[in-house]
Structure 1
Amino acid sequence: MGIDLPLAWAVIILFAVMMYVVMDGFDLGIGLLFPFIRDRGDRDVMVNTVAPVWDGNETWLVLGGAGLLAAFPTAYALVLQALSVPIVLMLIGLVFRGVAFEFRFKAPPAARGRWDLAFWGGSAVATFFQGVVLGAFLNGFAVSGPDTGAGASWLSPFPVFTGLGLLVGYGLLGVTWLVMKTGGRLQTKCIDIAGPLAWAFLGVLAVVSVWTPLAHPRIAERWFSYPNLLWFAPVPLLVGVALWRLQASLGRGFGAAPFLWTLLLVFLGYSGLGISLWPFVAPPDLTIWEAAGPPQSLGFTLVGALLVIPMILAYTGWSYWVFRGKVRAGEGYH
């Protein structure tokens, strides 16, 4: 029996997007927290916690986008046509944030505030429009007729809500990362912020979980028909357990536990979206098999991906291992 190439590529793209959400999520979340941490020294420590690894995190975004183009060109064309504006705005936010990341350390004290504002603004814009793209993707695209490539307006209420919700999610990832990587006064501030953010993120997940099945009967049938209801019931139960353990770990305030429980929350939210959408690569009609490119192209690019992905994982793991440990005021990685 041969390899199901579209399925293999779907797994790779889902994995790449998940890795991006996790790694660039806490990275962007640090920028989102700047309005809550006003001390310049504390802000320097926050940025120093990701300084050695931040630019490598976006490798996964490139892999996911390139994989979609290589494996599912029809879906890539539909998504790009319908969501070109929010995608471009997201990239502009990432550019502003990247430039500010480098320049804020080199700027004179009088100009540092402007670069901090650019760092926060770029992080907020990039995160918000990533959420908008997600919400518009859930709403679906027209795949036939004169409106081919058109999607539900990306400025409609649901994409706007998912954009705001992703700000909360990335903020929670960022603040629990800082709980793990910092100490003293800054860590205490982050613990105080993390508790309310965790409840807010639970609220976001609850609203999305109710909104999507009400708006899309196909998603409602996927979740609430028998026997799917039994198979998928553990997902919301595990969300409750993860939130409970996250709040309990914040009470202790030390170690990696808050960040790890937040990762589980994010993974469960991501899994819920996957359950709702599978097997559509351009919902509501285009499946991964219908959108797949020629088998020769899928096979050739799969070989390259299977060579590159272990290298990326090895490099990423080594980087995080080398730069493990806490970062303190006046210290950084060189």
Structure 2
Amino acid sequence: MPAWLDLTVVWALLLATAVFLYVVLDGFDLGVGILFAGIRGRAERDVAVNSVAPVWDGNETWLILGGVGLMPVFPAAYATILPALYMPLIVMLLALVFRGVAFEMRFKAESEEARRWWDRGFWWGSTVAAFCQGVALGAYVQGIAVEEGAYAGGWWDWLTPFSVLVGVALVAGYGLLGACWLVLKTEGATQAHALRLAWPLAVATVGFIALVSLVMPFLQPAFRARWFDFPAILLAAPVPLLVAALAWVLLRSLAAVARAAAERPPAAPRQVIWSDGVPFLAALGLFLLSYIGLGISLWPLIVPPEITIWEAAAPRSTQVFLLVGAAVLIPIVLAYNAYAYWLFRGKVQEGAGYH
């Protein structure tokens, strides 16, 4: 590796990218589970689950990559973040396991009553996992007490009004991703139901983005400086403007899809329409802009409010060794994820899919 290349920055960007890919990819299939509270019919629920069945396992790969990569590359961060967030992370992992079991077992249930219980488990696991991810993120952003390189806070430091706010916000955001995914991947009654759910979720998500963005600058003086001091404000100012523009695109595209579906004759064959994907792309854009805003606030901190990526990084020789493995592994993961999405492209038909 050339001496001028800062591998610490490279690894920080790689892990940040892995976490973002997990959030948006597993976010929409968690969102489908969250929507089970509002999807009542068995046929609609089967179509919703079948829309994510071919890809949901691959989506979780990025969580493993981000979490496992943190330990050897930024060991000081791993040693302080994990003790601070043990409770929400453990509950999140248990919820993901329970959700996975419910996902598989609902198709094997021999009675309607058993299927309804597994459907409740799928909803519960998805909602709790999303909420715990948001709580962990909120607690992380609010700051972790560190003394002499070790976590110095209490067992309940992760539970604050701000962390709960972020938890609820992420549930709404994942629900929006799930609804927009169903708009893209389904048709007929399922798509119409997803459109009805997407509207309030879109308004709630944008509202939560605005609320969290207003609170964050007051959590740490460094955050406030990044957003309001000159010349940093020149970099930060486009983010809220782009959020407002994407929110407008999202609402307009949902209205366009609903209008097109209403004008289509009931017996007309349903074809994949690219405009059905605009709401999903707009929702992904909102998550991306929120993630960029988070990066503006935190960079170059890895354990707010004090530890930077360079202070937490492993030796350069370790980073080089791991980067060689990542250079082989990451293209493979990207390739099989892309192939799965391409292979199962198009609308999901009722009565066909995962069994």
Q: Which residue of 1 aligns with 2:335?
A: 314
**Overall identity of the aligned pairs, in %:** 54
Q: Which amino acid letter does the alignment assign opposite residue 130 of structure 1?
A: Q
2:138–2:167: 8 Å Cα contact kept in structure 1?
A: yes
User: C-alpha deviations, 1:215-251, integer Å up to 9, x for none?
Assistant: 2221011111101112211100100110101111111
Q: What SS does structure 1 have at the residue aligned with 2:159?
A: coil
1:136–1:153: 8 Å Cα contact kept in structure 2?
A: yes
Counterpart check, 1:142 vs 2:163: no
* In 2, Cα distance between equivalents of 1:3 and 1:149: 34
Q: Which amino acid letter does the alignment assign opposite residue 294 of structure 2?
A: L
User: C-alpha deviations, 1:251-271, integer Å up to 9, x for none?
Assistant: 121521110011101100111
2:184–2:280: 8 Å Cα contact kept in structure 1?
A: yes
* In 1, Cα distance between equivalents of 2:276 and 2:251: 13
1:323–1:333: 8 Å Cα contact kept in structure 2?
A: no
Q: Which residue of 2 aligns with 1:185?
A: 189
User: How far is the alpha carbon of 1:84 from its aligned partner?
Assistant: 0.7
Q: Which residue of 2 aligns with 1:124?
A: 127
For 1:93-172, list aligned pairs within 5 A: 93-108=95-110, 109-145=112-148, 148-150=151-153, 153-172=157-176
* In 1, Cα distance between equivalents of 2:314 and 2:144: 19
User: C-alpha deviations, 1:110-146, integer Å up to 9, x for none?
Assistant: 2001000100000011100000110010011122259
2:79–2:150: 8 Å Cα contact kept in structure 1?
A: no
Q: What SS does structure 2 have at the residue aligned with 1:331?
A: coil
Q: Which amino acid letter does the alignment assign opposite residue 134 of structure 1?
A: L
User: How far is the alpha carbon of 1:2 from its aligned partner?
Assistant: 2.7
* In 1, Cα distance between equivalents of 2:72 and 2:148: 25
Q: What SS does structure 2 have at the residue aligned with 1:153?
A: coil
User: C-alpha deviations, 1:10-34, integer Å up to 9, x for none?
Assistant: 0100000010001000010000000
Change (3 A) 1:146 1:55: closer
For 1:141-290, list aligned pairs within 5 A: 141-145=144-148, 148-150=151-153, 153-253=157-257, 254-290=275-311
Counterpart check, 1:6 vs 2:8: yes
Q: What SS does structure 2 have at the residue aligned with 1:33?
A: helix
User: How far is the alpha carbon of 1:154 from its aligned partner?
Assistant: 1.3
* In 1, Cα distance between equivalents of 2:62 and 2:149: 34
> How many residue pairs end up in the alignment?
334
Structure 1 unaligned regions, length at least 5? none
Counterpart check, 1:305 vs 2:326: yes
User: How far is the alpha carbon of 1:320 from its aligned partner?
Assistant: 0.1
User: How far is the alpha carbon of 1:150 from its aligned partner?
Assistant: 2.4
Q: What SS does structure 1 have at the residue aligned with 2:151?
A: coil
Q: Which amino acid letter does the alignment assign opposite residue 231 of structure 1?
A: L
1:81–1:149: 8 Å Cα contact kept in structure 2?
A: no
User: C-alpha deviations, 1:152-205, integer Å up to 9, x for none?
Assistant: 711110111111110001000000000000001111111111111111101111
TM-score, L = length of structure 1: 0.97
1:131–1:166: 8 Å Cα contact kept in structure 2?
A: yes
2:144–2:303: 8 Å Cα contact kept in structure 1?
A: yes
User: C-alpha deviations, 1:44-102, integer Å up to 9, x for none?
Assistant: 00000011111111000000001111110010010111111111000000000000000
For 1:22-61, list aligned pairs within 5 A: 22-61=24-63
1:77–1:149: 8 Å Cα contact kept in structure 2?
A: no
User: How far is the alpha carbon of 1:147 from its aligned partner?
Assistant: 7.1
* In 2, Cα distance between equivalents of 1:145 and 1:257: 49
Aligned match for 1:63, one of 55, 60, 65? 65
User: How far is the alpha carbon of 1:149 from its aligned partner?
Assistant: 4.3
Q: Which residue of 1 aligns with 2:94?
A: 92
* In 2, Cα distance between equivalents of 1:2 and 1:191: 51
* In 1, Cα distance between equivalents of 2:102 and 2:152: 35
